[in-house]
Amino acid sequence: MRGPHNILRLIRTGATLERTGAMGLIMEAFEAPPLVRATMRALAWPFQWLGYPGDATMPSAVRALTALGPAYIKFGQILSTRPDLVGEELAAQLRVLQDKLPPFPIDTARTEIGTELGQAVDAMFDDFSPPVAAASIAQVHRARIRETGETVAVKVLRPGIERAFRRDIDAFYFAARMVEVLAPGARRLRPTDVIAHFEGVVMGELDLRLEAASASEFAANTDGDAGFRLPSVHWHLSSRRVMTMAWADGVPMGDNAALDAAGHDRAALATRVLQLFLSHALRDGYFHADMHQGNLKVAANGDILAYDFGIMGHIDEYTRRVYAEILYGFIKRDYRRVAEVHFEAGYVPQDRDVDAFARALRAVGEPIFGMDASRISMGSLLSYLFEVTERFGMETRTELILLQRTMVVVEGVARSLDPQINIWQVARPVVEDYIRREMGPRAAVRDLGRTALVLSRYGPRLPGLVEAALIRQAAPQAPAPQRRWPGRLAWGAAGVAAGAAAALLGVALM
């Protein structure tokens, strides 16, 4: 399906933005240069008749994105958390996309749920309500389990949502390939790989069994986090297209007036939501990757309640350490170390000058540290860092896309609660704690202990593996009768490894 016919889809995107009046608003919000504005309008204007009209009762940006489909709605959800980037007016408009989209009929939802769970809705639930929230992929109903009387949230996918996403993603693939052909300089950004990453994330979100599993794992990881709670999953009332969870009762995090009326400290909430995200990403390597205001509430006791676990991020331990060192280097203003980390991780080609890269990073960091607290932005840092790494030949790291995007979203949530929040000051204790715990002398001993445990598990096979490797290496030079010596060497190597393993394990357990 990723053929030239997608040109029509892309033309309709521009035409829809122009027809609904969203083109000018978006260009203005992003402060596009006059030439860019004029060019975009000139290209889109003749094709207005191809654009989708959308719902004329909605604000122009919301009208355009909802008409274009779920992938565009996801994009709008991200922008809604960044009033510092798109302005308060556009951010307020786009916030509707988080959980206030037009719902599909309740009878359709009942049919979908009954088909998926194998029995009528009324046999499972009492007080099955009309939709209480409707987003780009699914909508939620409040109900009470007939058997236990517990109040729950029942989430059901929109009918035909899989096909709608497939259409959008196909158009994105086509656009990515056109960029690679027409703009060779952009190939280092690996646009096709980026879309493939996005596709994997989205398709996982369309299986609610995976979301239930994600919620369960995330709950286990965060069980001891003060001021943070997750609703529990009811597995027997969940399936691929339906998921049932305990009801999360609280004030929406996007409603500042309601938070103030309930007596919640918004500055404290802003600090906690940012520190929780960093803790989950660095400590666990598993984080909520869709932490906009529509997926967060504040309980009566001040706890942050998170839900909607369709998009979760995972980063391995090595990448976490690299990410932490980069953040810590910027926090400490140690640009030489930030440069070295990029080279050590292979992010920047080895033939580039590390000193020149460090100076370029200083040009990124120093202006940000000179800003007023209300203007310090992780989003700005990532934007400037992108420009610098482009000049030094760094390729797009697809494994960091979700982490970087979520960092921007969470920063937007925190800043909407407390416009004066100092991102660096809030992040510093979390990053420093991770550095001390995971990268100091004790961490080195612990890593050696883990290595020893792995060696001990492979101990019985180690002599044979070493002997086989040495035989393959020596085969062209050594005659057959002499091939017995690697066996003795292998046993010697195994003995040394076993002794080292035992010693390291003993140190690690001290």
Closest CA to 252 of 238, 244, 262: 262
Task: Find all residues with CB under 8 Å of 160, minimum gap 6, and list them.
Answer: none
Task: Find all residues with CB under 8 Å of 294, minimum gap 6, and list them.
Answer: 77, 95, 98, 99, 133, 135, 252, 254, 308
334 catalytic, yes or no? no
Task: Find all residues with CB under 8 Å of 322, minimum gap 6, and list them.
Answer: 341, 344, 345, 347
Q: Can you tell me the distance from the alpha carbon of 270 to that of 263, in angstroms, rounded to the nearest whole number?
A: 15
Q: How many helices (H) and strands (E) does the chain have?
A: 24, 11
Closest CA to 202 of 177, 175, 167, 235: 167
Other CB atoms within 10 Å distance of the CB of residue 75: 15
Pairing mode, strands 304-306 and 228-229: parallel
Task: Find all residues with CB under 8 Å of 243, minimum gap 6, and list them.
Answer: 154, 155, 208, 209, 211, 212, 233
Query: What's the N-to-C CA distance of the chain in angstroms?
Result: 60
Closest CA to 293 of 279, 280, 308: 308
Catalytic-role residue among 290, 303, 334, 351: 290
Task: Please give the torsion angle defined by the CA atoms of residues 421, 277, 205 and 135, in that order, rounded to the nearest 10 degrees.
Answer: -30
* Alpha-carbon distances, residue 38 vs 16, 80, 194, 338 (angstroms): 17, 25, 29, 40
Tokens of 47: 């094709």
- What residue ranges in 200-303 does DSSP mark as E strands? 228-229, 242-246, 251-252, 286-288, 296-298
Residues labelled as active-site residues = 290
